[in-house]
Chains A and B, each alone.
Chain A
Amino acid sequence: MYFHLMLLTGLLGMSILLLGCNGAKELDQRANVVAIGLDTAEQEGMSRVSYQFAVPQVEGGKDDASKGAVVITNTAASLAEGLNLLSSEIALQPTLAHIKVIVIGEELARKGLDKVLEPFMRYREYRGTMFVVVTRGTAKKFLEKNKPVFVTSMAKYYEEMLVNGQDTGYFLGTTLHQYYIRLKSKSAQPYMSLVGINPNSGEGEISTRKVPGGKIDGYSAGDIPRSGGDAIEFAGTAIFDGDKMVGTLSTTETRMLAMLLGNYHNGFIVVEDPFDSKSIVNINLHLGSKPKINVALVEDRPVIHVSILLEGEISSIPSGINYEQGGGYLNSLETQINKVYSQEMMSVIKRTQELNADVAGFGYYLRPAFQSNKEYEDYKWNGKYSQSEVSIEVNTQIRRNGLMLRTVPTE
């Protein structure tokens, strides 16, 4: 009896000691970093690290949204030293466990990210689900200029933007995990969302001209012709050869990449009306199935065949031509879309071949052709991608006409 009493007392005592509260920090003792910006520094061997902290606010309150975050920038020898310096600059304990996004300055991205991103894979407060983006210009400026309009929480802004905003395929949310896996896979090259600061002047700059039959030009982040709203925009893709950024894709090119990756969810496309070249037709398109990609070796040369099924719904026919009646009209429209998208897709693949950056991950499809890892590694896919022969087949099926059964012509 005495022993059991002692045991019970001991266990209860132990459970109190093990509550974990002795090392606990209250929420109001922590400063949560929601974004980290990385740039090159003027001094040799140093980096410029910007921390964007969330400042707690009431959602739906009268607080100014721009006060929802504070940016502090340190020039330090490493990320860890940057964190040490932060302790001398803010009263609260900086916490990295809630970082949503790592913003990398373009200059640093072009120099190479191998050594820069390594600590993110090792230190426990960082996690693979953090998003990574490349900004045109510096990360510091990007973080400072970011004043979300519709949400007060900066963390929610990044999450909503990068998870839901990518549905149209104009940018692709990439996590640190996805970047790192591709970097080491020997089957694909990494890519990241391209972000930038828009001057809000109402004027833009076209990055990719529309193809014949198409009506949409491609833009890069910072170049979309617009005015109003947050200065920050996510548009296009930064593509890498290994850990070095070698080029960018515009919004329309990124949409093609999204289709090749099977990540294209839903978006409007605009093509020239096949029966009235002065008019356009709008179609809401999505992938009908995952892309069918076949990569084979013919005399040691990779031959890639891509087959894409798109399904759509007509959302606008300004010409008034009765496409709803089906038959030849609908076939012509589908053929028009197939032609436009085949050209756009081929142009993107050629561009990535020129940059030797297999961002579509065709190398993965080649892996089953080899029996062992050694055989595959000896083939050195990343060096062979640029020599690949590519064919593309786009098959569009217009399934619905929207809310109209037919178009009655006006006089």
Chain B
Amino acid sequence: MKTYYVGKLGTAEGIALVFGLVVSRLFLSGMADGIRGNGQLYWLSMILFTMIPLVVLFMMVYVTNSVSGDIVAVCQHLVGKVGAWLILVAYIGMFFGNSALVLRQYAEYTLSTALPRAEFQLVIVWYAVAAGIICYLGIEALCRTSYILLPFMLGGLILILVMVNPFYVVYNLTPWQGNGIMTAVQSGIHDAGYNLGVLSLVFLSSAFQNAKTIKSAAIYALGGSLVLRIVYMLVYTMVFGVAVGGEKAMPFFELARLVYLNQYIQRIEALFIVVWVIFGLLAIAGSMYIGLYLIVVLLKLPALRSIVPLGVMIVANLAMLPPDIGYTIQVDQLLIQVTQMGIYLFPGILFVMALVKNRREKSCTSI
């Protein structure tokens, strides 16, 4: 038994893992880009880019149920050794890329908001090391910590959305079609990579109790994140409108800065920074863990912990590569486009191969 096959994780831990992975970008500039591109109809895009990965997850659960073994065995059985390597190396790249880019953006926003005089490298290293420690403690620690923190963090976020109500302008939600229905549909299909994290449930399937646990976790996590995203998007649009909403580098931070209920309840964003730092850390750690896990199973290594420092160094160095925040956001957008392979292409191939295999087996049995 390898140390990373836990097999004790339930629905709650799955929800926390996926939620942490997919919600982290809520605090980054993605919302501003989405509002600018789609206008008031961004919610439709959100529904699409949440539902598509959910369907993909169900396809992948079907695939893993068709073939016994971990994700490497499944891939090797369906697409051969070279195919399996290609697919899993691509996923490793996506998860490490995600971890590095999320790390860089959180580090940049930490520098812009909380610690403007801190050294850039120090902040990067701090995030990377903290994420590394979480990874080192293992997937159980990561998931259960996330689950314990989740209600408090969600409560904090919802409180901010409520407290900016003096600035709501409901008419900012009109014209209701925003920049057009087709634009929103296309954007929803393109941006499905935002929820790539849900596939972590399939990759770590051996750590979960059974397929039903994985499905439930995916439904609750993606459903919850969808509701949160839509509520956030509606409030953000009501407060800033489409024009100004598209200008902001840190949409959620800007919302928190607007809280002004009276002389005593204002300037609360400093408290809120702690919330998004925790979300960021969990997302960086989660993505890094999945990347490391895939390396471990691909190379058939006996333990994951020993390569955590390697992962920390890779992620920290990748994060420091982009020269500025503008370029980082561009690369991040590129990564979201690349992750379409991880949402559409690879699961599609594996699903078709699993279907073909099952039909062949059925026809053989009937003879």
**B291 at interface (Cβ–Cβ under 8 A)?**
no
Query: Which chain A residue lies CB-closest to B183?
Result: A372
Contact call A124/B112, Cβ cutoff below 8 A: yes
Partner of B263 from the list A20, A159, A376 (CB cut-off 8 Å) is A159
In A8-22, which residues have CB < 8 Å from any B CB? Answer: 11, 14, 18, 20
Q: In the complex where A23-B118, A156-B263, A181-B169 touch, is A368 in contact with B174 (Cβ < 8 A)?
A: yes
A165: shortest Cβ distance to chain B, in Å? Answer: 13
**B62 at interface (Cβ–Cβ under 8 A)?**
no
Chain B CB within 10 Å, residue with most, of A14, A163, A175, A373: A373
Contact call B262/A163, Cβ cutoff below 8 A: yes
Total A-B pairs in contact (CB under 8 Å)?
77
**B347 at interface (Cβ–Cβ under 8 A)?**
no
A359-401 CB contact bits vs B (8 Å, 1 = yes)?
0000011011011111110000000000000000000000000
Contact call B115/A185, Cβ cutoff below 8 A: no
Partner of A129 from the list B115, B179, B258 (CB cut-off 8 Å) is B258
**A128 at interface (Cβ–Cβ under 8 A)?**
yes
Q: Which A residues lie within 8 Å of B39 (CB)?
A: 372-373
Q: In the complex where A23-B117, A128-B257, A159-B263 touch, is A370 in contact with B171 (Cβ < 8 A)?
A: no
Q: In the complex where A156-B263, A185-B241 touch, is A371 in contact with B176 (Cβ < 8 A)?
A: yes
For the complex, give the distance between the alpha carbons of A177 and B238 in Å: 13
Partner of A14 from the list B129, B240, B254, B266 (CB cut-off 8 Å) is B129
Q: Which B residues lie within 8 Å of A20 (CB)?
A: 115
A interface majority secondary structure = helix
Q: In the complex where A368-B171, A373-B178 touch, is A18 in contact with B126 (Cβ < 8 A)?
A: yes
Partner of A367 from the list B112, B115, B171, B179 (CB cut-off 8 Å) is B171
Contact call A11/B175, Cβ cutoff below 8 A: no
**A265 at interface (Cβ–Cβ under 8 A)?**
no
**A187 at interface (Cβ–Cβ under 8 A)?**
yes
**B243 at interface (Cβ–Cβ under 8 A)?**
yes
Contact call A128/B254, Cβ cutoff below 8 A: yes
In A168-200, which residues have CB < 8 Å from any B CB? Answer: 175, 177-178, 180-181, 184-187
**B242 at interface (Cβ–Cβ under 8 A)?**
yes
A392: shortest Cβ distance to chain B, in Å? Answer: 20
**A110 at interface (Cβ–Cβ under 8 A)?**
no
A330: shortest Cβ distance to chain B, in Å? Answer: 35
Partner of B244 from the list A14, A127, A175, A184 (CB cut-off 8 Å) is A184
Contact call B175/A371, Cβ cutoff below 8 A: yes
Query: Which chain A residue lies CB-closest to B170?
Result: A364
B307: shortest Cβ distance to chain A, in Å? Answer: 16
For the complex, give the distance between the alpha carbons of A370 and B169 in Å: 17
Q: Which A residues lie within 8 Å of B179 (CB)?
A: 372-374
In B224-254, which residues have CB < 8 Å from any A CB? Answer: 240-244, 247, 254
Contact call A124/B113, Cβ cutoff below 8 A: yes
Chain A CB within 10 Å, residue with most, of B172, B244, B247, B263: B244
Contact call B244/A180, Cβ cutoff below 8 A: yes
Query: Which chain B residue lies CB-closest to A177?
Result: B258
Q: Which A residues lie within 8 Å of B178 (CB)?
A: 372-373
For the complex, give the distance between the alpha carbons of A375 and B180 in Å: 10
Q: In the complex where A128-B257, A181-B169 touch, is A375 in contact with B175 (Cβ < 8 A)?
A: yes
Q: Which B residues lie within 8 Å of A375 (CB)?
A: 175
A377: shortest Cβ distance to chain B, in Å? Answer: 10
Contact call A372/B167, Cβ cutoff below 8 A: no
Query: Which chain A residue lies CB-closest to B266?
Result: A129
Q: Which B residues lie within 8 Å of A14 (CB)?
A: 126, 129
Contact call B133/A11, Cβ cutoff below 8 A: yes
**B260 at interface (Cβ–Cβ under 8 A)?**
yes
A178: shortest Cβ distance to chain B, in Å? Answer: 8
Q: Which A residues lie within 8 Å of B116 (CB)?
A: 124
For the complex, give the distance between the alpha carbons of A186 and B171 in Å: 12
Q: In the complex where A23-B115, A127-B257, A373-B39 touch, is A187 in contact with B171 (Cβ < 8 A)?
A: yes
A78-103 CB contact bits vs B (8 Å, 1 = yes)?
00000000000000000000000000
B58-73 CB contact bits vs A (8 Å, 1 = yes)?
0000000000000000
In B145-189, which residues have CB < 8 Å from any A CB? Answer: 167, 169, 171-172, 174-180
- Spell out A's residues near B (CB within 8 Å): 7, 11, 14, 18, 20, 23, 121, 124, 127-129, 156, 159, 163, 175, 177-178, 180-181, 184-187, 364-365, 367-368, 370-376
Report 22 cross-chain contacts, Cβ distance below 8 Å, ordered by A residue: A7-B133, A14-B126, A23-B115, A124-B112, A124-B116, A129-B257, A163-B262, A163-B263, A177-B167, A180-B244, A181-B169, A185-B172, A364-B171, A368-B175, A370-B174, A371-B175, A371-B177, A372-B39, A372-B178, A373-B179, A373-B242, A375-B175
Q: Which 9 pairs across A and B sit closest by C-beta, in order of nearness?
A: A364-B171, A367-B174, A184-B243, A129-B260, A370-B175, A368-B174, A23-B117, A372-B177, A371-B177
Sample of 7 more A-B contacts, CB < 8 Å, known A124-B116, A185-B244, A186-B243: A129-B257, A159-B263, A184-B244, A364-B171, A365-B171, A373-B175, A373-B179
- Spell out B's residues near A (CB within 8 Å): 39-40, 112-113, 115-118, 126, 129, 133, 167, 169, 171-172, 174-180, 240-244, 247, 254, 257-258, 260, 262-263, 266-267
